[in-house]
Structure 1
Amino acid sequence: MKLLKKICTDKIMILIVLLAAFLNLYGIWNDKYANTYYTTAVASMLQNFHNFFYGSLDSAGSVTVDKPPVTFWIQTISAYIFGLHGWSVILPQALAGIGSVLLIYFLVKPTFGLAAARISALVMALMPVAVAVSRTNNIDSMLVFTLLLGAWFLFKGIRNNSVGCMLGAFAMIGVGFNMKMLQAYMVAPAFYLFYLLAAKVNWKRKLGILAGSTAVLIAVSLSWAVTVDSISKDQRPYIGSSQTNSVLELAFGYNGVSRLTGNQGGGRGMTPGTSNSGASAGDDMSAGSTPPSTNPQSGSSQTSPAGGTGQTGRTSWNGQGQPPFGDNGRDGGGGGMGGSFGTGTPGALRLFQTELSGQASWLLPFVLFGLIAFFAGIRRNQITQKHKEGLFWLAWLGPAMVFFSIAGFFHHYYLIMLAPPIAALAGAGFMAMWKAYRERDGWQTWLLPISIVLTAAFQYYIVQAYDSTIGTGWSILIAAAGIAAAVLLILIRSQEKAWKQAAVMAGLLVLLIGPAYWALTPITYGLNSMIPQAGPGTADGRGMGFPGDGGPGGMTPPGMNAEGNSGISEDSRSSGDTAPAGSDRTAGSAASLDSTRSDFRMDGGRGGESGQVNVKLLAYLKKNNTGQTYLFATNNYGTAAPYMIDEGQSVIIMGGFSGSDPVYTTEKLEAMVKSNKVKYFLVGGGMGGRGGSTEITSWIKEHGTEIPSSEWNGTTDNQADSGAVQNGPDGNMTLYEVSVN
């Protein structure tokens, strides 16, 4: 309550919080499904406690999502209170984003002062990637809030010499592990270093408390994983996206080391009958065509053989849902044109490249000069609390920057991990440079004007890449205003303090023009909730490594023009309907890539990876249900999503995220059919591994009777009246009634 009272008396901070609330909350009610994968899991978790505890993707509790369930527990509680909607599962993350702004303020203010705290909070509120992620039901916004809450406990524990707060701080990292596994551990070095530097106890007590805190960290981190792994595999869901049906393997493999190396292969979720040659599930071409590869020198796309067979005219995506645009069409690697998702070329300057810089790097040059001013006069016997806290934020920022500079596989929105330390150091560094400038402290006097002009130049570099989208005015404005502010600061060095303060604040505000514009883009341009990022033209899956499709970032898929489309009308893409038989959409790579792009679309009509409820199909399945537990089974969660989310139906998803997790065997399905749990199977289509197991599909066809499309397919003018229906992104779907004697 004391903290809230402090906020209420700070009118400027109230405005900053209101700004954060607007950026994070406005328009979230327009997102029907948010990230469909996670929203489908919430629909499942609302159905029973078994699914809730495990974070099950489907109603049968047969496969989990690819992350631990803590964030989804919170989303499920929100959906239970407000009903299951896109906005109700986004709401916890939006509030977490606002909460992170408040926590930055409370963390910075006691040591660095009110002005630094306000600046840090404002920078955090305007951090583009933080806004983009907070407007979705992805995990990272909640993760950052949890880690900042841990930092608050840490600072309080050291200030009050409280062992309980110390244990709570490391417990928060453990909670973060149960949100997104090893990503939470990025901050652990900062926590350890800060306690060693700042705790006012002897070394023996320090080491004892750190040992106890580490024990708490490990216990909380592994509590859910060890519990789940210790349960018999036939009594719990398959661990989605794992190779060995183990949470620990998922944590330290797919969600751990593989993120650094970029190797997402190794046979995870391989479709039966494929070889384990180091390629991922998505490299099985049984359900797709030859993947595209890219010439990293020319940026041109071409088709190269991959040894696959099957349907032509479709592009294979791998088991993680990413396009095979890495090395030789394999996933991960970060190669080619800026990696699989346009994350730039690994190296020391990766965060300054066009592909990533617009997400969180806007103020990095400013922070660098602030650190110089901050630590310029440090002496071994003169390390103050400011220096210690500065080192804490630097120890958070440094490892995260190193990871994202060299990692082989990550998405743009992971860069939210950089937001808190950049915000805190921007405020602290500004005050250090302002003090040196105001007091005309030798060479340090020049740090503030130099930092402003160089940061403005860097921001010009970021913005000018989008001149064709937003016009040249923005980039020119930032560059000109930055130069003008720096020159003014130089000219009035000897003037009165009031003039200096006004000029300095003007210079700072100039540096917030670019971040503010980018932070608004999720509202003004729309947002891809599956893989969110900020920047002009990021809706409709743009910016996901497709340059010309909303700005620089990767490669234009074959068959698409420079605008990122294939000639198919926007109406046909966004309506959830399919093209008429014989149209271009069914004929070649342009159409298939358009369908692929639609798979990652996120607007109110499509919901990213789901189609719409086929009303006639729903009525048919309900009418002919003779006591089965599950309405139907399918190989693609996008097909199941609208029935689970909108209609509250129980649906089996046979293959997890990729469609290729080995969740079911034919024997298990046969037992479920015999026990009257399910009899209808809606199968087919899919991209990459999303066609599901060929063995299971063959079993369904062998034991099933194909239901004529005319009996269940709610056709429209844009749908072909044939024996199969194109349903959203899932391609040709066929309904079977399966019976086993």
Structure 2
Amino acid sequence: MTTMARPVSADRTTSRRAGDPRWVRPALAGLLAATAALYLWNLNASGWANAFYSAAAQAGGESWKALFFGATDPSNAITVDKTPAALWLMSLSVRIFGLSSWSVLVPEALLGIASVALLYATVRRVSGPGAGLLAGAMLALTPVAALMFRFNNPDALLVLLLIAGAYATIRAIEKGSPQWIVLAGAAVGFGFLAKMLQAFLVLPGFALAYVLAAPVSLGKRFLHLLGALVAVVVSAGWYLAVVALWPAASRPYIGGSQTNSILELTLGYNGFGRITGDEVGSLGGAQSSGSWARLFGTEMAGGIAWLLPAAVLALGALIWLTWRSPRTDLTRAAAIAWGGWLLVTAGVFSYMSGIIHPYYTVALAPAVAALTGMGATRLWRLRVHPVAAGLLSSGVMVTTLTTFLVLNQKSDWQPWLRYSSLLLGLGAAALLVVAGQLSRTVSRAVAVLALVATLSGTGAYTMATAATAHSGAIPAAGPNGSAFGGGMFGGNFRGGMGSLLGTTTPGETLVSLLRNDSSAYQWAAATVGSNPAASYQLAADVPVMAVGGFNGTDPAPTLAQFQEYVRAGKIHYFLGDSAMRSTSGSDDAQQIADWVAQTYPAMTVDRTTVYDLTR
């Protein structure tokens, strides 16, 4: 085992970088160019993608206050139900290039390209350029990554910042650097500003890797980690402090909370409520108990499951191969950092009882790609050893079987692919057992065959994802382009605009009506729910108040406040005549809809019920 577990030191990594083979730079350039083509090609096809965030980007492009707080309209009625770091990038793009689907989505694609490049840099420091290229390619060819790097949910920024945290952690471990581990904490803290507490799921793995492997005394290791924790608190907490101390009357209501509190949003609706299912204001309620099989179910498997078993096997192989290495072994430390990221995040996603959507699994993609790339290249170098060859063969076989099972769930899509991938994979797995005894030319051919077999399924599904338009609040990876808009939340319960999670394009007559004399009002219209409000706002380019926030269950505004706005002549129209009743949260939106319907005459414009609040 000692000969199979030689550590890679930081000095060796540096020297190898200086003497890289000539193919490394062209290969990296090719990887990034292909990633750019994949993520940027036909980006406008998805239109506004998630209109909820597009409307907030539109608002931020017009109002600096809306940009800072993440308000859904430029008149600052209510914020999105997240901290707004991802919106800052989109809003700045809108300010520079003007409002369009491209200006909203291109920052996300650029974040994806940067994520692939940074993952390459992180993995190569430990395992060399081959492993870095393989990891970068695997990330780029993960379907849920292609989905989210071509979409405008906050996950793209979250992924990049977490990879930055992993990179800084590896740099810190190399020499026991307090500066780098503090930077790692700051990166994760800023990740909080993209998607709140989800960012912190990587911290146990990063901290464990540093405390076990950093080449300084135990006391210094803990002291450095304390500094990193301070960096996390400061980089995440400054925004919470500013919002909490800002006078509530001069900022938008904090969407997703019942008390206009960002701390409630952090710890409740977007915090522990996601674990327990006790999310006040949610329309769904607690789910049934989860299990490890959730990530392989029909909703999530197509996005992330392809290489997930191989990543777990690679984690075990890397730990086993470095078991007797010195405490400071960088390969083992990196495996612990990535493995902690993978296991903690996968465990939470598998067993949480609150709101969870398939696209959340993009947070697993960097760890899956890094572990698989590191493990595959390490085992390939040791293929003359029967155990290493057996593990390498097992990784290809388990990936092949996973690919077959995932594709079998979509039996009507390219049915030939699952059988060809299975045959190629099984053949490659058999040849890898004896790869150490083959000539260099033949063994390289076997490696190419194994790569084609293992990446054919996820690659084809990624291409299908990128080639399909996705829109709505809950996009899904794959060729169907399905977004959640029906089922338990569906139904035509508001004036022709569909569900609270769905959006449509208003007719030209209604758009003209909203634009007419809109500058005389703080809000050209109000309607229940953020997604319907976004549809009207994006189409007419006028401020539209989202009564009740995303789910229509926030007490913003209350009935009394809404009536005061109407008396003051601040709202022109109310659109729709009913609201979704929830088992939790505020029913102010329903009260407002009922009051409007009882007080003002209704008219129908483009199949939408419209009330003129100035009559």
Fold match by TM threshold 0.5: yes
Equivalent residue letter for 1:694: Q
Alpha-carbon shift at residue 160 of structure 1 (Å): 5.3
CA contact (8 A) 1:40 1:637 kept: no
- Which whole-Å CA distance do the structure 1 matches of 2:321 and 2:29 have between them? 35
Give the Cα separation in 2 of the matches to 1:642 and 1:159. 50
Q: By how many angstroms is 1:518 displaced?
A: 1.3
Contact 1:24 1:97 in 2 (8 A): yes
Q: Equivalent residue for 2:595?
A: 699
Q: Which has the higher mean CA deviation after the structures are superposed, 200-209 or 5-14?
A: 5-14
Q: Residue in 2 aligned with 1:190? A: 205
Q: 1:120 deviation in Å?
A: 0.7
Shift of 1:737: 2.6
The answer to whether structure 1 residue 414 and structure 2 residue 360 are counterparts is yes
Specify the SS of the correspondent of 2:382. helix
CA–CA separation in structure 2 for the residues paired with 1:169 and 1:257: 24
Match of 1:355 in 2: 299
Closer, same or farther: CA 455–612 of 1 in aligned 2, 3 Å = closer
Distance 1:421 1:624, change over 3 A: closer
**Correspondence 1:54-203 to 2 at 5 A:** 54-159=69-174, 161-203=176-218
Partner of 2:542: 649
8 A Cα contact 2:335 2:371, kept in partner: yes
Q: How does 1:194-233 map to 2 (within 5 A)?
A: 194-233=209-248
Corresponding residue of 1:489: 432
Does the Cα contact within 8 Å between 1:104 and 1:121 map onto a contact in 2?
A: yes
**CA deviation profile, 1:274-304 (whole Å, cap 9, x unmatched):** xxxxxx4xxxxxxxxxxxxxxxxxxxxxxxx
Q: Residues 647 and 691 of structure 1: is their aligned pair in 2 closer, same or farther, counting only changes over 3 Å?
A: farther
Taking the aligned partners of 1:512 and 1:161, their CA distance within structure 2 comes to: 37
Distance change (3 Å), C-alpha of 1:696 and 1:397: same
Select the residue among 366, 371, 376 that pairs with 2:310. Answer: 366
CA distance change for structure 1 residues 125 and 617 in 2, over 3 Å: closer, same or farther?
Answer: closer
Label 1:669 to 1:495 Cα distance change in 2 as closer, same or farther (>3 A).
Answer: closer
Is residue 2:418 matched to residue 1:464?
no
Distance 1:133 1:693 in 2: 31
User: Larger % of helix: which?
Assistant: 2
Indicate if the aligned counterparts of 2:39 and 2:466 stay in contact, CA closer than 8 A: no
1:370 touches 1:432 (CA, 8 Å); kept in 2?
A: no
Contact 2:255 2:554 in 1 (8 A): yes
Pair 1:8–1:533, CA change in 2 (3 A): farther
Q: CA deviation at 1:645?
A: 2.3
The two structures, once aligned, show a CA RMSD in angstroms of 3.1
Please state how far the C-alpha of 1:656 moved relative to its aligned partner.
1.0
Matched, 1:670 2:563: yes
- Decide whether the 8 Å contact of 2:139 with 2:365 is kept in 1: yes
Shift of 1:16: 1.5
Q: Structure 1, residues 169-227: CA drift from partner, whole Å, max 9, x if none?
A: 11111111111111000111122112212322222322222212211211221211222
SS at match of 2:204: helix
Structure 1: runs of 5 or more not aligned: 269-279, 281-317, 319-323, 325-330, 336-345, 547-556, 559-588, 601-607, 716-724, 727-732
**Displacement after TM superposition at 1:466 (Å):** 1.3
Q: 1:566 — aligned with what?
A: none
Cα 1:358–1:14 shift into 2, 3 Å? same
Moved more, 639-648 or 33-42: 639-648
What are the Cα deviations for residues 141-170 of structure 1, in whole angstroms up to 9, with x where unaligned? 110101111222232334355433322211
The question of 1:737 aligning with 2:613 is answered yes
2:613 aligns to what SS in structure 1?
strand
Distance 1:387 1:350 in 2: 29
Provide the secondary structure at the position in 2 that maps to 1:653: strand
Letter in 1 for 2:348: F
Aligned to 2:398: 454
Q: How far apart, CA to CA, are the structure 1 residues paired with 2:470 and 2:153?
A: 13
Instruction: State the Cα distance separating 1:72 from its structure 2 match.
Output: 0.5
- Equivalent residue, structure 2, for 1:512: 455
Distance between the aligned counterparts of 1:692 and 1:88, measured in 2? 35
Q: Contact 2:60/2:91 (CA < 8 Å) preserved in 1? A: yes
Q: Show CA shifts across 1:682-717 (max 9, x none).
A: 33245556996232234334553x2644xxx3x5xx
Equivalent-residue separation in structure 2 for 1:619 and 1:665 (angstroms): 29
1:138 counterpart SS class:
coil
CA, structure 1 residues 624+121, in 2 after alignment: closer, same or farther (shift >3 Å)?
A: closer
Deviation at 1:594, TM superposition (A): 14
Shift of 1:598: 6.4
Name the residue aligned to 1:400: 345
Question: CA offset at residue 123 of structure 1?
Answer: 0.5
Distance between the aligned counterparts of 1:152 and 1:241, measured in 2?
A: 33
**1-side partners of 2:381 and 2:110: how far apart?**
35
Question: 2:372 is matched by which residue type in structure 1?
Answer: A
Maintained 8 Å contact 1:685/1:691: no
Take 1:61 and 1:34, find their aligned partners in 2: how far apart are those partners? 22
> Counterpart of 2:611 in 1: which secondary structure?
strand
Q: C-alpha deviations, 1:117-155, integer Å up to 9, x for none?
A: 111111111011111111110011110101111222232
- Note the C-alpha offset of 1:461: 1.0
| Same amino acid, percent of matched pairs | 28
Q: Distance in 1 between matches of 2:139 and 2:465?
A: 16
How many angstroms does 1:103 deviate by? 0.8
Residue 526 of structure 1: CA displacement? Answer: 3.2
Gaps of 5+ in 2: 1-13
Which amino acid is 2:428 matched to?
Answer: A
What is the distance in 2 between the residues matched to 1:391 and 1:492? 28
Matched residues in 1 for 2:220 and 2:286: separation? 45
Closer, same or farther: CA 379–680 of 1 in aligned 2, 3 Å: closer
> Is 2:329 aligned against 1:390?
no
Match of 2:3 in 1: none
Residue 376 of structure 1 pairs with residue 320 of structure 2: yes
Q: Which digits, 9 at most, give the CA deviation of each residue in 1:64-122, with x for residues without a partner? A: 11000111011100111111122211111111111111111100112201211111111
Q: How far did 1:416 drift?
A: 0.9
Superposed counterparts of 1:227-242, under 5 Å = 227-242=242-257
Distance 1:402 1:227 in 2: 33
> Are residues 666 and 375 of structure 1, via their aligned partners in 2, closer, same or farther at CA, if it must alter by over 3 Å?
closer
Per the alignment, in what secondary structure is the counterpart of residue 734 of structure 1? strand
d(CA) in 1 for partners of 2:366 and 2:463?
Answer: 19
Residue 10 to residue 247, structure 1, CA distance change in 2 (3 Å) = same
Question: Structure 2 vs 1, CA of residues 595 and 104 (structure 1 numbering), >3 Å: closer, same or farther?
Answer: farther
Deviation per CA, 1:322-348, whole angstroms, max 9, x where unpaired? xx5xxxxxx33146xxxxxxxxxx223
Match of 1:541 among 483, 490, 493: 483
Within 2, Cα distance between the matches of 1:660 and 1:14?
A: 49
Q: Tell me if structure 2 keeps the 8 A contact 1:611–1:638.
A: no
Q: Secondary structure at the match of 1:695?
A: helix
Aligned twin of 1:430: 376
Contact 1:94 1:135 (8 Å CA) reproduced? yes
Q: Distance in 2 between matches of 1:124 and 1:595?
A: 42
CA distance in 2, matches of 1:529, 1:625: 27
The answer on 1:631 being equivalent to 2:524 is yes
| 2:41 pairs with 1:21 | no
Q: State the distance in 2 between where 1:620 and 1:508 align.
A: 57
Paired residues of 1:126 and 1:516 also in contact (CA < 8 A) = yes
2:473 is aligned, of 520, 523, 530, to 530
In the aligned structure 2, how far is the partner of 1:685 from the partner of 1:151?
Answer: 48
